Amino acid sequence: MIDEILDKKELSSEDLVTLLKLDKKEDLEKLRIRSYRTMADNVGELVYIRGLIEFSNYCTRDCLYCGIRKSNSKVKRYILTKDEILESAMWSAEKGYGSIVLQSGERSDESFVSFVEDIIYEIKEKTKSDLLPNGVGITVCIGELSYQQYQRIFNAGAHRYLLRIETSNPDLFRKIHPENQKIETRIECLEMLHQIGFHIGTGVMIGLPEQTFEDLAADIQFFKKYDCDMIGMGPYIINLDTPMEYWKDYYFENQKNIYSLSLKMIAVTRLYLKDVNIASTTALQAIYPWGREQGLLYGANVIMPSVTPRNYRKDYLLYDGKPCTEEFAGDCLNCVLSRVHSINREVGLNSWGDAKHYIKKKELNSIS
Ligand code: SF4
């Protein structure tokens, strides 16, 4: 039956659920091989790298699963200076990263947004070179903003925006967020980002308590419905300071399944969406040391090594056991190169590495 499903041109909701439920070794290998081939045929085998700058851990939100949520008083808060951000961005460009991600806790106050806007202008200007005539590609991930604020970020030169929904199931969303955080607002934000012309990224957590296979299948369909270009999904990993006590037992009892389900989500998302960029997230490595390589073997084509200055890394812990908090950016670069080479793939250096899905849309728009 699995071969029949894998041969289909269009996968139904039931097919997605069946694939996510696979647990026999030989079936998983068939899924992995088909997903890898779909990736190679649609986006190629190069792995694109994004230098991740976690530039501030101040957050106005209170997601119950997150280590840096505003009510976690144990967190030492920081915000990098413009010079520190610029230094990390320029280091990334010099090493051939091609793209960076500016990520922080969520804030929409004017002083913060104009700080981000200014730094984008500056990074774009200072990272121009023969190899990158338009500077590094910039992805911003700072949360829910107004239309005008998104437009300013876009005008400053960032062309990608990452806004995770964590789950497309409204009931589940309500269980993992405080009442004032609404999935409807996140969807409105994705629509605004679309209108403005961003390369849009979203993602979900995999293996949440009470999450079903049907929920995950619906998440994959959500990515298609909202025409997303890049997907960043990761296993749900407990933060020990969560107010949700029962989640801790759940997590430790289900860790192995959560890991395997995360790889299946990458594979099934690749089969369903084909030409998008999919990240193999660091969270996979938090559960299994070779998790990021496995993600790449299941159809992911992007990796996001941290270029956050080392002395701030341990204060940006969204979940417990986050790897790479003691390393310098140079260590992460060497580590990523050797990990990618170990699975016989190459890194796409000095390239923005935009998703083919986005490039096709842009070409279509310029024709019409
Ligand atoms: S998940 Fe994001 S928005 Fe939610 S508390 Fe953490 S940093 Fe803030």
CATH classification at residue 18: 3.20.20.70
CA of 257 to the centre of ligand 1 (A): 25
Is the shortest distance between the CB of 67 and ligand 1 below 6 Å?
no
> Domain containing 30: what range?
2-367
Residue 172 has pLDDT above 80, yes or no: yes
E-assigned strand segments in the chain: 48-56, 99-104, 137-141, 160-162, 199-202, 205-206, 230-231, 234-235, 277-278, 302-303
CB-ligand 1 contact for 85 (6 Å cutoff): no
Residue 317 in this model has a pLDDT that exceeds 80: no
Q: What are phi and psi of 156, to 5 degrees?
A: -70, -20
Which amino acid, one-letter code, is at 182?
A: K
The H-or-E segment that residue 124 falls in is: helix 110-126
Tokens of residue 173, six digits: 């969303």
Which of ligand 1's atoms lies nearest the C-alpha of 69? 5
Quickly state the pLDDT bin for 332 (edges 50, 70, 90).
confident
Pocket test for ligand 1, best of 54, 70, 106 (most atoms within 8 A of CB): 106
CA distance 313 to 310: 5
Q: Which pLDDT does position 325 carry in this prediction?
A: 67
CA of 259 to the centre of ligand 1 (A): 22
Instruction: Say if ligand 1 is within 6 A of residue 105 CB.
Output: yes
Centre of ligand 1 from the C-alpha of residue 280, in Å: 20
Query: Which atom of ligand 1 has the smallest separation from the CA of 62?
Result: 5
pLDDT for res 333: 80
Residue 366 has pLDDT above 90, yes or no: no
Position 70 scores a pLDDT of 95
Q: Which pLDDT value is given to residue 233?
A: 94
Q: What is the pLDDT averaged over residues 117-135?
A: 97
- By DSSP bridging, strand 230-231 and strand 199-202 are parallel
Residue with the smallest CA separation from ligand 1 atom 5 is 69
Q: How remote is the CA of residue 107 from the centroid of ligand 1, in Å?
A: 10
Mean pLDDT, rounded, for 241-265: 86
Q: Which of 313, 300, 310, 230 lies closest to 264, judged by CA?
A: 300
> Whole-number mean pLDDT of the chain?
93
The verdict on the CB of residue 63 being under 6 Å from ligand 1 is yes
Higher pLDDT, 79 or 312: 79
Which pLDDT score is estimated for 365? 78
- How crowded is residue 148: how many other Cβ atoms within 10 Å of its Cβ? 10
CA atoms within a 13 Å half-sphere pointing along the CA-CB vector of 27:
16
54 - beta bridge partners? Answer: 103
The structure's pTM equals: 0.95
Q: Among residues of the chain, what percentage have pLDDT more than 70?
A: 97
Of 220, 235, 315, which is closest to residue 274 (Cα–Cα)?
220
Phi, psi of 130 (to 5 degrees): -60, -40
Mean pLDDT, residues 277-284 taken together: 93
Residue 296 pLDDT > 70: yes
**Total number of domains constituting the chain:** 1
Per-residue pLDDT, 211? 94
Measured CA to CA, the distance from residue 151 to residue 137 in angstroms comes to 17
